[in-house]
Structure 1
């Protein structure tokens, strides 16, 4: 799908595939080598439909330079609605909902290979190659922000840049230096958040956004997501540590941080310091910060105009196609 063939009033839905065979073939391959060979992900899937599963669903809206939008754990691509409205006249937007989240069928865990994070990185690179996207900018929230940072560090030849919306390269390290993981977050791969005792989707949603309508939207996405996938992916994020790889970034990266996170933080200043410490290895020539002081985790809920202004400014400076 080439961007010149789409009008901004058209929406196209796509399923991108990953395969058991590909995972078996790449399970012992170094990450750097995997990042260098994205074409196999989709091409191999096309020839082995019987063993394939969807890594994510995609909606394509608009025309112009390509931008990929990735939501977080237990979120759908709908969280990007205001950003889509702000950008669709000037950019071709590829809006992902990752497998297992927001009503998209989960990937069987035995097919995850090295893990969900690595699998999704490869599927996104395969999608870029298959759709012949010309160095798209990758914008991600939370888990999506982690993936955006990983692609900026590992695949600078294939993406034009990244915007990390309230994601961290080493989530577990943050909590280990402050306190226990936040309430209601599970790392148990067998847990089912909407069904296990003590988990309240609305309580979690209220901790991540101030607007009541957005709280309901976030909670709805959680209940439509696969509990075991959500729990196991959170476990992966708690163990993951991208910090050593950040020094390899050679494309422009913008990190947008939300400063009203609450426990285990005490002040917005401490939250900002945590961001700056975690991303200290990203070269200053390629990376900068901006912070939403009065926003919780879902900046698109609490500060949508600010978020979209930051994104549009970045794209104007770095992604004119």
Structure 2
């Protein structure tokens, strides 16, 4: 379990540092982004709308752009109206002023997404989210089942901090700071974004994309959101799920220190409160955290089949 602990520690550190490390590139990156439709009531995200048909909302994770969904968009745009989000503070989107976070970023985004659904008059969209987006998809399935039709959680967890504590205990409390390739991290200034990207995707082009999105993201937002995710615990609310939910897990996310069987068991334990009649799992055995990078065909097949069942 050491890889999970060290990777997560490094991620929290990294995202807290990115604002100081990469602020010089933010304005240029924003100029390169394609035009988007900005959500009006609250600048909580930028949205690009593509295609026609039943509505599907696609939400990326911390320090990620909506472009992570491009292969999924290409597959689905002929049959669905896709609302592709990039959340505030990430990948060149202007951060929310922290005094406007209210109960926190996670709660603010949940309310903003529900408001967007209402204002755009979307008829019970399916919500698909990766990582942080997966957490939000689970939260909406539990807390607003009357508003959405279904949800897909791509490698997100309802209680990240609880898993961190559990794995720390199983690792005999080891807390030495190392990077994901097991080399000591000498100091805060020695953080290597590429090492982090390699721990989350095996595909080299995607590693470059992940790093680029990190450099375009607001470090203060990323660090505080990771802190919220570490404190959040959605598990007691999962029993309220009343719409179909699919969780797609990446079984190489803890490699080489955790076996695929251990990673799968963690998912099943974390989501045990979700009613079996509404929730099911599928696992990408050879993928790290960014399943869209390491197993895109498998991911898109799972999404397409799930959406087809909702239409049937």
1:15 corresponds to which of 22, 38, 43? 38
Residues 233 and 184 from structure 1, CA distance in 2 versus in 1: closer, same or farther, beyond 3 angstroms?
farther
Query: May I ask how many residue pairs the two structures share in their alignment?
Result: 267
Q: Which TM-score applies when normalising by structure 1?
A: 0.80
1:249 corresponds to which of 227, 232, 241? 241
Q: Structure 2: 5+ residue runs without aligned partners?
A: 1-33, 169-174, 181-187
Residue 128 in 1 paired to residue 122 in 2? no
| Deviation at residue 273 of structure 1 after TM alignment | 0.1
Q: Do the aligned partners of 1:252 and 1:286 also contact (CA within 8 Å) in 2?
A: yes
Q: CA–CA distance in 2 between the matches of 1:168 and 1:306? A: 20
Q: Which TM-score applies when normalising by structure 2?
A: 0.82
Q: Structure 1: 5+ residue runs without aligned partners?
A: 1-10, 18-41, 43-52, 186-195
| Deviation at residue 54 of structure 1 after TM alignment | 1.1
Residue 163 in 1 paired to residue 186 in 2? no
Aligned position for 2:95: 106
Residues 73 and 265 from structure 1, CA distance in 2 versus in 1: closer, same or farther, beyond 3 angstroms?
same
Residues 300 and 183 from structure 1, CA distance in 2 versus in 1: closer, same or farther, beyond 3 angstroms?
farther
CA RMSD for the aligned pairs? Answer: 2.0
| Deviation at residue 13 of structure 1 after TM alignment | 2.4
Residues 128 and 201 from structure 1, CA distance in 2 versus in 1: closer, same or farther, beyond 3 angstroms?
same
Map 1:262-273 to 2 at 5 A.
262=254, 265-273=257-265
| Deviation at residue 262 of structure 1 after TM alignment | 2.2
Residues 88-117 of structure 1: CA distance to partner in whole angstroms, max 9, x if unpaired?
000000000000000000001111010000
Residues 263 and 178 from structure 1, CA distance in 2 versus in 1: closer, same or farther, beyond 3 angstroms?
farther
| Deviation at residue 184 of structure 1 after TM alignment | 6.8
Query: Greater helix share, 1 or 2?
Result: 2
Map 1:1-321 to 2 at 5 A.
13-17=36-40, 42=41, 54-179=43-168, 197-262=189-254, 265-319=257-311
Q: Do the aligned partners of 1:16 and 1:58 also contact (CA within 8 Å) in 2?
A: yes
